[in-house]
Amino acid sequence: MKIPLTSVFVDDQANAERFYTEILGFAKKHDVPLGEGVRWLTVVSPDEPDGTELLLEPTGHPAVRPYRDALVEDGIPLAQFAVDDIKAEYERLRGLGVRFTQEPLDMGTVTTAVFDDTCGNLIQIATQPQ
């Protein structure tokens, strides 16, 4: 079993595309118009262009907003991304204006930080010690 695609719900696909590509550094993989301003919009890690795609999915379903709002209110990240050097990535993203809700926190087997993706989600980045 593999995970070829996963998704995050976003308030605005154009804003999400900008944030996930220009700020986080993902590469756009697919951008297919589906009508009424909705697109099948996926991004991938530039290090793994044939790896797992992240679908930047519109928040059209009525259950999405209450679910995401509850996660954000409780400080729970919707997704997690691996980074090689969390302190360097934290500083890079902060320098680009990204708002963190949790600074890098060493938890023994992993160091994590959490930021607001400007699209309605909290995202966690993590580094495991070598």
Biggest alpha carbon–alpha carbon distance for the chain = 47
| Domain covering 5-127, topology | 2,3-Dihydroxybiphenyl 1,2-Dioxygenase; domain 1 (3.10.180)
Structure confidence by residue, pLDDT tens digits, 72-98: 999 999 999 999 999 999 999 999 999
Q: Give the Cα separation of 36 and 34 in Å (integer).
A: 7
Structure confidence by residue, pLDDT tens digits, 3-57: 999 999 999 999 999 999 999 999 999 999 988 889 999 999 999 999 999 999 9
Q: How many CB atoms lie within 10 A of CB 49?
A: 10
Q: Which residues pair with 100 in a beta bridge?
A: 115
Q: Which residues pair with 115 in a beta bridge?
A: 100, 123
